Chain A
Amino acid sequence: MSIEETENEIVEEFELFTDWMEKYEHIIEIGNSVPKIDEKYKDEAHEIKGCQSKVWLHSELKDGKIIYSADSDAIITKGLVGLVIRVFSDHTPEEIINADINFIDKIGLHEHLSPTRSNGLTAMIKQIKFDALALRTIGN
Protein backbone atom coordinates (compact mmCIF):
# COMPACT_ATOMS: atom_id res chain seq x y z
CA MET A 1 0.00 0.00 0.00
CA SER A 2 1.34 3.45 -0.82
CA ILE A 3 1.70 6.12 1.81
CA GLU A 4 -1.31 7.91 0.39
CA GLU A 5 -3.41 4.75 0.39
CA THR A 6 -2.63 4.12 4.05
CA GLU A 7 -3.56 7.71 4.81
CA ASN A 8 -6.91 7.27 3.08
CA GLU A 9 -7.50 4.04 4.93
CA ILE A 10 -6.93 5.81 8.26
CA VAL A 11 -9.22 8.67 7.28
CA GLU A 12 -11.97 6.18 6.43
CA GLU A 13 -11.43 4.36 9.69
CA PHE A 14 -11.85 7.55 11.67
CA GLU A 15 -14.98 8.53 9.77
CA LEU A 16 -16.76 5.78 11.69
CA PHE A 17 -16.45 7.69 14.92
CA THR A 18 -18.97 10.31 15.77
CA ASP A 19 -17.42 11.78 18.87
CA TRP A 20 -14.05 12.65 20.31
CA MET A 21 -14.03 10.01 23.01
CA GLU A 22 -14.56 7.27 20.42
CA LYS A 23 -11.72 8.67 18.33
CA TYR A 24 -9.42 8.64 21.30
CA GLU A 25 -10.54 5.15 22.27
CA HIS A 26 -9.33 4.08 18.84
CA ILE A 27 -6.05 5.94 19.24
CA ILE A 28 -5.52 4.18 22.56
CA GLU A 29 -6.15 0.81 20.85
CA ILE A 30 -3.57 1.69 18.22
CA GLY A 31 -1.24 2.69 21.04
CA ASN A 32 -1.54 -0.77 22.49
CA SER A 33 -0.52 -2.39 19.20
CA VAL A 34 2.39 -0.22 18.08
CA PRO A 35 5.30 -2.24 16.66
CA LYS A 36 7.35 -2.60 19.79
CA ILE A 37 10.74 -1.01 19.93
CA ASP A 38 13.56 -3.19 21.21
CA GLU A 39 14.15 -2.22 24.87
CA LYS A 40 17.80 -1.52 24.12
CA TYR A 41 16.79 1.39 21.87
CA LYS A 42 14.87 3.16 24.62
CA ASP A 43 17.76 5.48 25.34
CA GLU A 44 18.72 9.17 25.02
CA ALA A 45 19.78 8.73 21.41
CA HIS A 46 16.36 7.45 20.37
CA GLU A 47 14.31 9.86 22.43
CA ILE A 48 12.31 12.51 20.61
CA LYS A 49 12.71 15.77 22.48
CA GLY A 50 10.02 18.34 22.94
CA CYS A 51 7.20 16.11 24.11
CA GLN A 52 5.59 16.24 27.55
CA SER A 53 5.67 12.46 27.48
CA LYS A 54 8.71 10.44 26.52
CA VAL A 55 8.81 9.03 22.99
CA TRP A 56 11.42 6.71 21.55
CA LEU A 57 11.71 5.93 17.85
CA HIS A 58 13.88 3.39 16.10
CA SER A 59 14.35 3.08 12.36
CA GLU A 60 16.07 0.37 10.40
CA LEU A 61 16.58 -0.44 6.78
CA LYS A 62 15.34 -3.84 5.54
CA ASP A 63 15.58 -4.66 1.84
CA GLY A 64 15.70 -0.99 0.95
CA LYS A 65 12.67 -0.10 3.06
CA ILE A 66 12.51 1.51 6.47
CA ILE A 67 10.82 -0.26 9.36
CA TYR A 68 9.91 1.98 12.27
CA SER A 69 9.22 0.94 15.84
CA ALA A 70 8.41 3.15 18.80
CA ASP A 71 7.27 3.46 22.36
CA SER A 72 6.04 6.15 24.73
CA ASP A 73 5.24 6.38 28.41
CA ALA A 74 1.91 7.97 27.47
CA ILE A 75 -0.61 5.81 25.67
CA ILE A 76 -2.24 8.51 23.53
CA THR A 77 1.15 9.71 22.38
CA LYS A 78 1.96 6.11 21.57
CA GLY A 79 -1.24 5.85 19.55
CA LEU A 80 -0.36 8.99 17.63
CA VAL A 81 3.14 7.78 16.88
CA GLY A 82 1.58 4.43 15.95
CA LEU A 83 -0.59 6.13 13.34
CA VAL A 84 2.37 7.95 11.87
CA ILE A 85 4.45 4.77 11.80
CA ARG A 86 1.64 2.89 10.07
CA VAL A 87 1.72 5.49 7.31
CA PHE A 88 5.47 5.65 6.84
CA SER A 89 6.79 2.21 7.73
CA ASP A 90 7.77 -0.25 5.03
CA HIS A 91 8.56 2.40 2.45
CA THR A 92 11.77 3.49 0.83
CA PRO A 93 13.65 6.47 2.27
CA GLU A 94 12.88 8.36 -0.94
CA GLU A 95 9.12 7.80 -0.60
CA ILE A 96 9.21 8.85 3.05
CA ILE A 97 11.21 12.00 2.45
CA ASN A 98 8.91 13.11 -0.35
CA ALA A 99 5.62 12.23 1.34
CA ASP A 100 3.41 15.19 2.07
CA ILE A 101 1.01 13.79 4.59
CA ASN A 102 -2.32 15.34 5.46
CA PHE A 103 -4.33 12.64 7.21
CA ILE A 104 -3.79 14.22 10.64
CA ASP A 105 -5.70 17.29 9.58
CA LYS A 106 -8.39 15.18 7.98
CA ILE A 107 -9.08 13.14 11.09
CA GLY A 108 -9.23 16.30 13.19
CA LEU A 109 -6.03 15.83 15.15
CA HIS A 110 -4.29 18.96 13.86
CA GLU A 111 -4.21 20.35 17.39
CA HIS A 112 -1.48 17.82 18.06
CA LEU A 113 0.62 19.38 15.32
CA SER A 114 1.10 22.72 17.05
CA PRO A 115 4.80 23.20 17.68
CA THR A 116 4.53 23.58 21.44
CA ARG A 117 2.03 20.79 21.87
CA SER A 118 2.95 18.43 24.66
CA ASN A 119 2.85 15.28 22.58
CA GLY A 120 4.48 16.94 19.58
CA LEU A 121 3.41 14.99 16.51
CA THR A 122 5.42 17.51 14.54
CA ALA A 123 8.58 16.45 16.35
CA MET A 124 7.82 12.79 15.59
CA ILE A 125 7.25 13.37 11.88
CA LYS A 126 10.40 15.44 11.70
CA GLN A 127 12.37 12.62 13.33
CA ILE A 128 10.86 10.02 10.99
CA LYS A 129 11.91 12.06 7.97
CA PHE A 130 15.27 12.86 9.47
CA ASP A 131 15.96 9.15 10.01
CA ALA A 132 14.90 8.48 6.42
CA LEU A 133 17.40 11.05 5.19
CA ALA A 134 20.15 9.46 7.27
CA LEU A 135 19.25 5.96 6.08
CA ARG A 136 19.12 7.04 2.45
CA THR A 137 22.74 8.11 2.73
CA ILE A 138 23.66 4.74 4.22
CA GLY A 139 21.53 2.88 1.66
CA ASN A 140 23.31 4.60 -1.20
Chain B
Amino acid sequence: MDIVAKIVTKELDVETIRKDFPILQTTVHGKALVYFDNAATSQKPLVIINAIEKYYKETNSNVHRGIHYLSNKATNEFEASRKTIAAHLNASHEEIIFTRGTTEAINLVAFSFGEAFVKSGDEIIISHLEHHSNIVPWQMLCERKGAALKVIPITKEGELKMEEFKKLLSDKTKLVAVNHVSNTLGTVNPVEEIIELAHSKNIPVLLDGAQAVPHMKVDVKKLDVDFYSFSGHKLFGPTGIGVLYGKSKWLNQMPPYQGGGEMIKEVTFEKTTYNDAPLRFEAGTPNIEASIVLAKAIDYVNRIGLDVIAKHEHDLLLYTTERLEKIEGLKIIGTAPHKTAVVSFVVEGIHPSDIGILLDKQGIAVRTGHHCTQPLIDFYKIPGTVRASFAFYNTFEEIDIFVKALNKAISMLK
Protein backbone atom coordinates (compact mmCIF):
# COMPACT_ATOMS: atom_id res chain seq x y z
CA MET B 1 0.00 0.00 0.00
CA ASP B 2 1.41 3.42 -0.82
CA ILE B 3 1.63 6.14 1.75
CA VAL B 4 -1.31 8.17 0.48
CA ALA B 5 -3.61 5.17 0.49
CA LYS B 6 -2.45 4.36 4.00
CA ILE B 7 -3.33 7.83 5.20
CA VAL B 8 -6.73 7.72 3.54
CA THR B 9 -7.60 4.37 5.09
CA LYS B 10 -5.98 5.13 8.42
CA GLU B 11 -7.80 3.29 11.16
CA LEU B 12 -7.51 3.97 14.81
CA ASP B 13 -5.26 1.53 16.63
CA VAL B 14 -7.25 1.60 19.84
CA GLU B 15 -5.29 -1.11 21.66
CA THR B 16 -2.06 0.84 21.26
CA ILE B 17 -3.69 4.13 22.15
CA ARG B 18 -5.14 2.70 25.35
CA LYS B 19 -1.59 2.08 26.59
CA ASP B 20 -1.17 5.88 26.65
CA PHE B 21 -3.81 6.13 29.37
CA PRO B 22 -2.66 4.57 32.67
CA ILE B 23 -6.05 5.03 34.35
CA LEU B 24 -7.74 2.80 31.76
CA GLN B 25 -5.65 -0.06 33.12
CA THR B 26 -7.13 0.23 36.62
CA THR B 27 -9.84 -1.89 38.20
CA VAL B 28 -12.81 -0.65 40.21
CA HIS B 29 -14.77 -2.87 42.60
CA GLY B 30 -12.59 -5.70 41.33
CA LYS B 31 -13.63 -5.19 37.70
CA ALA B 32 -11.68 -3.74 34.79
CA LEU B 33 -12.70 -0.11 34.45
CA VAL B 34 -15.00 0.78 31.58
CA TYR B 35 -14.96 4.56 31.39
CA PHE B 36 -18.02 5.94 29.61
CA ASP B 37 -18.20 9.34 31.30
CA ASN B 38 -16.08 11.25 28.82
CA ALA B 39 -18.56 14.09 28.37
CA ALA B 40 -18.05 14.94 32.05
CA THR B 41 -14.30 14.76 31.78
CA SER B 42 -11.81 12.84 29.68
CA GLN B 43 -8.85 10.76 30.86
CA LYS B 44 -5.28 11.98 30.40
CA PRO B 45 -2.56 10.35 28.31
CA LEU B 46 0.98 9.95 29.62
CA VAL B 47 2.24 12.85 27.50
CA ILE B 48 0.00 15.13 29.53
CA ILE B 49 0.84 13.61 32.89
CA ASN B 50 4.54 13.83 32.08
CA ALA B 51 4.29 17.37 30.75
CA ILE B 52 2.74 18.54 34.03
CA GLU B 53 5.63 17.03 35.96
CA LYS B 54 8.17 18.44 33.51
CA TYR B 55 6.73 21.92 33.87
CA TYR B 56 7.27 21.90 37.64
CA LYS B 57 10.70 20.32 37.35
CA GLU B 58 12.08 22.52 34.59
CA THR B 59 10.01 25.60 33.89
CA ASN B 60 8.00 26.77 36.90
CA SER B 61 8.12 30.55 37.18
CA ASN B 62 5.68 33.45 36.84
CA VAL B 63 4.85 34.76 33.38
CA HIS B 64 5.06 38.17 31.73
CA ARG B 65 6.95 39.80 34.55
CA GLY B 66 10.35 38.30 35.05
CA ILE B 67 13.72 39.43 33.98
CA HIS B 68 15.27 36.06 34.69
CA TYR B 69 15.78 32.92 32.64
CA LEU B 70 12.96 30.81 34.02
CA SER B 71 10.39 33.53 33.80
CA ASN B 72 11.25 34.02 30.15
CA LYS B 73 11.07 30.29 29.56
CA ALA B 74 7.65 30.06 31.21
CA THR B 75 6.41 33.11 29.30
CA ASN B 76 7.64 31.70 26.00
CA GLU B 77 5.98 28.34 26.59
CA PHE B 78 2.80 30.04 27.78
CA GLU B 79 2.59 32.23 24.68
CA ALA B 80 3.63 29.36 22.41
CA SER B 81 0.69 27.38 23.78
CA ARG B 82 -1.64 30.27 22.98
CA LYS B 83 -0.34 30.12 19.39
CA THR B 84 -0.87 26.37 19.15
CA ILE B 85 -4.45 26.81 20.35
CA ALA B 86 -4.97 29.68 17.91
CA ALA B 87 -3.62 27.62 15.01
CA HIS B 88 -5.84 24.69 16.00
CA LEU B 89 -8.96 26.88 15.88
CA ASN B 90 -7.66 28.86 12.89
CA ALA B 91 -7.67 32.04 14.97
CA SER B 92 -5.03 34.62 15.65
CA HIS B 93 -3.28 34.48 19.03
CA GLU B 94 -4.59 37.85 20.26
CA GLU B 95 -8.06 36.36 20.02
CA ILE B 96 -7.30 33.52 22.45
CA ILE B 97 -8.00 34.16 26.12
CA PHE B 98 -7.07 31.63 28.79
CA THR B 99 -9.88 30.98 31.27
CA ARG B 100 -10.59 28.40 33.97
CA GLY B 101 -12.86 26.58 31.55
CA THR B 102 -15.97 26.95 29.45
CA THR B 103 -17.93 28.24 32.41
CA GLU B 104 -15.56 31.12 33.04
CA ALA B 105 -15.33 31.88 29.31
CA ILE B 106 -19.11 32.29 29.08
CA ASN B 107 -19.26 34.32 32.29
CA LEU B 108 -16.56 36.58 30.91
CA VAL B 109 -18.57 37.32 27.77
CA ALA B 110 -21.82 37.65 29.71
CA PHE B 111 -20.16 40.25 31.91
CA SER B 112 -17.89 42.18 29.56
CA PHE B 113 -19.96 42.01 26.38
CA GLY B 114 -23.00 42.70 28.54
CA GLU B 115 -21.43 45.79 30.08
CA ALA B 116 -20.55 47.15 26.64
CA PHE B 117 -23.59 46.26 24.58
CA VAL B 118 -26.63 45.14 26.58
CA LYS B 119 -29.20 47.49 28.04
CA SER B 120 -32.71 47.40 29.40
CA GLY B 121 -35.23 45.94 26.95
CA ASP B 122 -32.61 44.02 24.95
CA GLU B 123 -32.77 40.29 24.39
CA ILE B 124 -30.33 37.37 24.53
CA ILE B 125 -31.21 34.14 22.74
CA ILE B 126 -30.19 30.74 24.09
CA SER B 127 -31.71 27.30 23.46
CA HIS B 128 -33.59 24.65 25.41
CA LEU B 129 -30.55 22.35 25.00
CA GLU B 130 -28.10 24.36 27.05
CA HIS B 131 -25.83 23.39 29.91
CA HIS B 132 -26.49 25.47 33.04
CA SER B 133 -23.25 27.31 32.35
CA ASN B 134 -24.78 28.67 29.15
CA ILE B 135 -28.03 29.60 30.89
CA VAL B 136 -27.25 31.08 34.29
CA PRO B 137 -24.64 33.69 33.23
CA TRP B 138 -27.18 35.08 30.74
CA GLN B 139 -29.93 35.11 33.36
CA MET B 140 -27.60 37.03 35.65
CA LEU B 141 -26.82 39.48 32.83
CA CYS B 142 -30.52 39.93 32.05
CA GLU B 143 -31.26 40.57 35.70
CA ARG B 144 -28.45 43.10 35.92
CA LYS B 145 -29.50 45.00 32.83
CA GLY B 146 -33.25 44.48 32.70
CA ALA B 147 -32.88 42.46 29.50
CA ALA B 148 -34.88 39.37 28.56
CA LEU B 149 -33.81 35.80 27.85
CA LYS B 150 -35.38 34.07 24.84
CA VAL B 151 -35.18 30.32 24.38
CA ILE B 152 -35.11 28.42 21.08
CA PRO B 153 -37.52 25.48 21.49
CA ILE B 154 -36.58 21.92 20.52
CA THR B 155 -38.24 18.91 18.91
CA LYS B 156 -38.68 15.64 20.78
CA GLU B 157 -35.71 14.26 18.85
CA GLY B 158 -33.63 16.97 20.53
CA GLU B 159 -33.07 19.32 17.63
CA LEU B 160 -33.48 23.08 17.58
CA LYS B 161 -36.63 24.36 15.91
CA MET B 162 -34.94 26.60 13.39
CA GLU B 163 -38.18 28.19 12.19
CA GLU B 164 -38.83 29.33 15.76
CA PHE B 165 -35.28 30.61 16.01
CA LYS B 166 -35.82 32.81 12.97
CA LYS B 167 -38.89 34.30 14.64
CA LEU B 168 -36.96 35.07 17.83
CA LEU B 169 -34.30 37.12 16.04
CA SER B 170 -35.18 40.79 16.22
CA ASP B 171 -33.80 44.30 16.57
CA LYS B 172 -33.73 43.73 20.31
CA THR B 173 -31.47 40.66 20.07
CA LYS B 174 -27.95 41.48 21.25
CA LEU B 175 -26.39 38.02 21.20
CA VAL B 176 -27.18 34.40 20.39
CA ALA B 177 -25.51 31.84 22.70
CA VAL B 178 -25.97 28.14 21.94
CA ASN B 179 -23.91 25.02 22.30
CA HIS B 180 -22.18 23.50 19.31
CA VAL B 181 -22.92 20.01 20.66
CA SER B 182 -25.37 19.12 23.43
CA ASN B 183 -23.71 17.42 26.40
CA THR B 184 -26.84 15.49 27.37
CA LEU B 185 -28.07 14.35 23.95
CA GLY B 186 -25.05 14.66 21.67
CA THR B 187 -27.05 16.68 19.13
CA VAL B 188 -24.76 18.59 16.79
CA ASN B 189 -26.49 21.90 16.20
CA PRO B 190 -26.66 23.54 12.75
CA VAL B 191 -24.23 26.22 13.85
CA GLU B 192 -23.36 27.46 10.35
CA GLU B 193 -27.01 28.22 9.72
CA ILE B 194 -27.45 29.80 13.14
CA ILE B 195 -24.50 32.09 12.57
CA GLU B 196 -25.63 33.00 9.06
CA LEU B 197 -29.14 33.87 10.24
CA ALA B 198 -27.89 35.91 13.19
CA HIS B 199 -25.28 37.72 11.12
CA SER B 200 -27.84 38.64 8.51
CA LYS B 201 -29.26 40.82 11.29
CA ASN B 202 -25.80 41.87 12.55
CA ILE B 203 -26.19 39.85 15.72
CA PRO B 204 -23.06 38.16 17.12
CA VAL B 205 -23.03 34.49 18.11
CA LEU B 206 -21.31 32.68 20.97
CA LEU B 207 -20.84 28.94 20.65
CA ASP B 208 -20.26 26.74 23.70
CA GLY B 209 -17.87 24.23 22.18
CA ALA B 210 -17.16 22.18 25.33
CA GLN B 211 -18.54 19.02 23.73
CA ALA B 212 -17.40 19.74 20.18
CA VAL B 213 -13.67 20.48 20.38
CA PRO B 214 -12.72 16.99 21.69
CA HIS B 215 -14.53 15.30 18.81
CA MET B 216 -14.27 17.39 15.65
CA LYS B 217 -12.19 19.97 13.86
CA VAL B 218 -13.41 23.49 14.64
CA ASP B 219 -12.48 26.38 12.39
CA VAL B 220 -13.64 29.67 13.89
CA LYS B 221 -12.80 31.65 10.75
CA LYS B 222 -14.78 29.37 8.49
CA LEU B 223 -17.67 29.41 10.95
CA ASP B 224 -17.26 33.18 11.26
CA VAL B 225 -18.33 32.75 14.88
CA ASP B 226 -17.89 35.72 17.23
CA PHE B 227 -17.10 33.87 20.46
CA TYR B 228 -16.19 30.24 20.99
CA SER B 229 -15.35 28.46 24.25
CA PHE B 230 -14.10 25.08 25.39
CA SER B 231 -12.54 23.31 28.39
CA GLY B 232 -9.12 21.66 28.49
CA HIS B 233 -10.19 18.80 30.75
CA LYS B 234 -12.67 17.45 28.22
CA LEU B 235 -9.92 17.53 25.58
CA PHE B 236 -7.61 15.08 27.42
CA GLY B 237 -5.81 18.04 28.99
CA PRO B 238 -5.63 19.33 32.58
CA THR B 239 -8.50 20.72 34.63
CA GLY B 240 -8.64 24.39 35.51
CA ILE B 241 -7.91 25.62 32.01
CA GLY B 242 -10.16 26.61 29.16
CA VAL B 243 -10.26 28.93 26.23
CA LEU B 244 -12.35 31.80 25.03
CA TYR B 245 -11.93 32.75 21.41
CA GLY B 246 -13.30 36.19 20.62
CA LYS B 247 -13.09 38.27 17.48
CA SER B 248 -10.73 41.18 18.11
CA LYS B 249 -13.37 43.63 16.96
CA TRP B 250 -15.49 42.60 19.96
CA LEU B 251 -12.76 42.01 22.51
CA ASN B 252 -11.28 45.47 22.00
CA GLN B 253 -14.62 47.09 22.68
CA MET B 254 -15.27 45.10 25.86
CA PRO B 255 -14.26 46.28 29.35
CA PRO B 256 -12.17 43.96 31.56
CA TYR B 257 -13.84 41.09 33.40
CA GLN B 258 -11.69 41.25 36.52
CA GLY B 259 -9.15 43.76 37.75
CA GLY B 260 -5.65 42.93 38.94
CA GLY B 261 -2.14 42.35 37.77
CA GLU B 262 -1.33 41.51 34.17
CA MET B 263 -4.42 43.16 32.70
CA ILE B 264 -3.18 46.75 33.06
CA LYS B 265 -0.99 49.13 31.11
CA GLU B 266 -0.56 51.74 33.81
CA VAL B 267 -1.99 52.12 37.29
CA THR B 268 -2.25 55.30 39.33
CA PHE B 269 -4.77 55.96 42.08
CA GLU B 270 -6.52 58.43 39.78
CA LYS B 271 -6.82 56.25 36.71
CA THR B 272 -5.81 52.89 35.33
CA THR B 273 -5.39 52.08 31.66
CA TYR B 274 -5.97 48.56 30.51
CA ASN B 275 -3.91 46.22 28.46
CA ASP B 276 -5.13 45.09 25.05
CA ALA B 277 -6.80 41.71 24.57
CA PRO B 278 -6.03 38.98 25.43
CA LEU B 279 -4.10 40.14 28.52
CA ARG B 280 -6.84 42.61 29.38
CA PHE B 281 -9.01 39.60 30.23
CA GLU B 282 -6.36 37.62 32.11
CA ALA B 283 -6.10 39.33 35.51
CA GLY B 284 -3.75 37.76 38.02
CA THR B 285 -1.33 34.86 37.78
CA PRO B 286 -2.91 32.39 35.37
CA ASN B 287 -2.87 28.60 35.57
CA ILE B 288 0.52 28.55 33.88
CA GLU B 289 1.09 24.81 34.04
CA ALA B 290 -2.28 23.92 32.56
CA SER B 291 -2.08 26.66 29.94
CA ILE B 292 1.20 25.23 28.68
CA VAL B 293 0.07 21.62 28.87
CA LEU B 294 -3.17 22.31 26.99
CA ALA B 295 -1.12 22.75 23.80
CA LYS B 296 0.28 19.25 24.35
CA ALA B 297 -3.28 17.87 24.47
CA ILE B 298 -4.05 19.57 21.17
CA ASP B 299 -0.87 18.16 19.63
CA TYR B 300 -1.85 14.74 20.93
CA VAL B 301 -5.31 14.65 19.33
CA ASN B 302 -3.87 16.08 16.13
CA ARG B 303 -1.27 13.32 16.00
CA ILE B 304 -4.08 10.76 16.15
CA GLY B 305 -6.22 12.83 13.80
CA LEU B 306 -9.63 14.27 14.57
CA ASP B 307 -11.10 12.73 11.42
CA VAL B 308 -9.94 9.26 12.51
CA ILE B 309 -11.25 9.95 16.01
CA ALA B 310 -14.62 11.09 14.66
CA LYS B 311 -15.00 7.96 12.56
CA HIS B 312 -14.20 5.57 15.40
CA GLU B 313 -16.52 7.42 17.78
CA HIS B 314 -19.30 7.39 15.22
CA ASP B 315 -18.92 3.63 14.86
CA LEU B 316 -19.14 3.30 18.64
CA LEU B 317 -22.30 5.42 18.61
CA LEU B 318 -23.97 3.31 15.92
CA TYR B 319 -23.03 0.06 17.62
CA THR B 320 -24.28 1.20 21.04
CA THR B 321 -27.50 2.59 19.62
CA GLU B 322 -28.20 -0.63 17.77
CA ARG B 323 -27.54 -2.78 20.84
CA LEU B 324 -29.52 -0.59 23.22
CA GLU B 325 -32.53 -0.36 20.95
CA LYS B 326 -32.98 -4.11 21.38
CA ILE B 327 -33.45 -3.82 25.13
CA GLU B 328 -37.10 -3.96 26.10
CA GLY B 329 -38.44 -0.82 27.73
CA LEU B 330 -35.30 1.19 26.96
CA LYS B 331 -35.76 4.54 25.31
CA ILE B 332 -32.94 6.62 23.88
CA ILE B 333 -33.33 10.31 24.64
CA GLY B 334 -31.91 12.43 21.85
CA THR B 335 -32.28 10.88 18.42
CA ALA B 336 -31.11 13.64 16.12
CA PRO B 337 -29.57 12.28 12.90
CA HIS B 338 -26.43 14.33 13.50
CA LYS B 339 -24.95 13.32 16.85
CA THR B 340 -21.62 12.87 18.59
CA ALA B 341 -20.94 9.68 20.55
CA VAL B 342 -23.29 10.36 23.44
CA VAL B 343 -26.13 7.99 24.30
CA SER B 344 -28.63 9.12 26.92
CA PHE B 345 -31.42 6.75 27.83
CA VAL B 346 -34.14 5.82 30.30
CA VAL B 347 -35.61 2.41 31.08
CA GLU B 348 -39.32 2.20 31.77
CA GLY B 349 -40.14 1.89 35.46
CA ILE B 350 -36.51 2.21 36.62
CA HIS B 351 -34.83 5.26 38.09
CA PRO B 352 -31.61 6.24 36.24
CA SER B 353 -29.63 6.45 39.50
CA ASP B 354 -30.39 2.77 40.27
CA ILE B 355 -28.92 1.78 36.93
CA GLY B 356 -25.89 4.02 37.50
CA ILE B 357 -25.15 2.42 40.88
CA LEU B 358 -25.39 -1.13 39.56
CA LEU B 359 -23.25 -0.31 36.52
CA ASP B 360 -20.64 1.22 38.81
CA LYS B 361 -20.50 -1.96 40.86
CA GLN B 362 -19.76 -3.82 37.64
CA GLY B 363 -16.87 -1.48 36.83
CA ILE B 364 -18.68 0.83 34.44
CA ALA B 365 -18.58 4.60 34.84
CA VAL B 366 -21.57 6.46 33.41
CA ARG B 367 -23.31 9.59 34.55
CA THR B 368 -26.93 9.71 35.68
CA GLY B 369 -29.19 12.64 36.46
CA HIS B 370 -29.85 15.92 34.73
CA HIS B 371 -26.27 16.49 33.48
CA CYS B 372 -26.50 20.21 34.35
CA THR B 373 -29.32 20.60 31.82
CA GLN B 374 -32.38 20.66 34.06
CA PRO B 375 -34.68 22.52 31.64
CA LEU B 376 -33.88 19.92 28.98
CA ILE B 377 -34.63 16.99 31.31
CA ASP B 378 -37.88 18.68 32.37
CA PHE B 379 -38.81 18.97 28.68
CA TYR B 380 -38.79 15.17 28.44
CA LYS B 381 -40.68 14.83 31.77
CA ILE B 382 -38.21 12.30 33.11
CA PRO B 383 -36.20 12.26 36.38
CA GLY B 384 -32.93 12.22 34.43
CA THR B 385 -31.11 9.91 32.08
CA VAL B 386 -28.31 7.39 32.15
CA ARG B 387 -25.63 8.78 29.85
CA ALA B 388 -22.83 6.85 28.21
CA SER B 389 -20.41 9.18 26.46
CA PHE B 390 -17.45 7.90 24.49
CA ALA B 391 -13.91 8.89 23.63
CA PHE B 392 -11.58 7.49 20.99
CA TYR B 393 -10.02 5.08 23.51
CA ASN B 394 -13.29 3.22 24.03
CA THR B 395 -13.80 -0.14 22.36
CA PHE B 396 -16.57 -2.33 21.01
CA GLU B 397 -15.68 -4.95 23.64
CA GLU B 398 -16.33 -2.35 26.33
CA ILE B 399 -19.76 -1.73 24.83
CA ASP B 400 -20.47 -5.47 24.98
CA ILE B 401 -19.47 -5.49 28.66
CA PHE B 402 -21.65 -2.44 29.25
CA VAL B 403 -24.71 -3.95 27.54
CA LYS B 404 -24.33 -7.19 29.49
CA ALA B 405 -23.98 -5.28 32.77
CA LEU B 406 -26.94 -3.11 31.87
CA ASN B 407 -29.11 -6.15 31.20
CA LYS B 408 -28.09 -7.59 34.54
CA ALA B 409 -28.94 -4.31 36.29
CA ILE B 410 -32.32 -4.14 34.60
CA SER B 411 -33.14 -7.73 35.54
CA MET B 412 -32.36 -6.93 39.18
CA LEU B 413 -34.39 -3.74 39.18
CA LYS B 414 -37.48 -4.85 37.27
Contacts and interface: CB of A to CB of B under 8 A. Distances in A.
Interface of A: 19-21, 24-25, 28, 52-54, 73-77, 118-119
B357 A24 contact: yes
B412 A74 contact: no
Nearest to A79: B354
A76 B351 CA distance: 9
A54 to B, nearest CB: 8
A75 B29 contact: no
A24 B351 contact: no
Given A28-B413, A73-B383, A21 B361 contact: yes
Contact of A74 (B29, B30, B353, B362): B353
Given A24-B358, A76-B357, A53 B413 contact: no
B361 A52 contact: no
A76 B354 contact: yes
Q: By CB atoms of chain B within 10 A, which of A52, A54, A74 has the most?
A: A74
B384 interface: yes
Contacts of A77: 351, 353-354
Nearest to A25: B412
B413 A75 contact: yes
Contact of A118 (B350, B362, B369, B412): B369
A128 B387 CA distance: 32
B373 interface: no
B384 to A, nearest CB: 7
Given A52-B368, A53-B383, A28 B353 contact: no
Interface string B369-404: 100000000000001100000000000000000000
A52 B377 CA distance: 13
B65 interface: no
Interface of B: 29-30, 350-354, 356-358, 361-362, 368-369, 383-384, 408, 412-413
Nearest to B384: A52
B83 to A, nearest CB: 39
15 contacts: A20-B29, A21-B358, A21-B361, A24-B358, A25-B412, A52-B383, A53-B351, A53-B383, A73-B351, A73-B383, A75-B350, A76-B354, A77-B353, A118-B353, A119-B357
Given A76-B354, A118-B369, 20 more contacts: A21-B361, A21-B408, A24-B357, A24-B358, A25-B412, A52-B352, A52-B368, A52-B369, A52-B384, A53-B383, A54-B383, A74-B353, A75-B354, A75-B413, A76-B358, A77-B353, A77-B354, A118-B356, A119-B353, A119-B357
A119 B29 CA distance: 19
Contacts of B368: 52, 118
A3 to B, nearest CB: 26
A24 B168 CA distance: 50
A109 to B, nearest CB: 11
A79 to B, nearest CB: 9
Nearest to B361: A20
Contacts of A19: 30
Nearest to B31: A20
A28 B412 contact: yes
A50 to B, nearest CB: 13
A118 B352 CA distance: 11
A53 B370 CA distance: 11
Contacts of A53: 351, 353-354, 383
Contacts of A24: 357-358, 361, 412
Contact of B351 (A20, A21, A25, A74): A74
A113 B354 CA distance: 16
A20 B28 CA distance: 11
B193 to A, nearest CB: 36
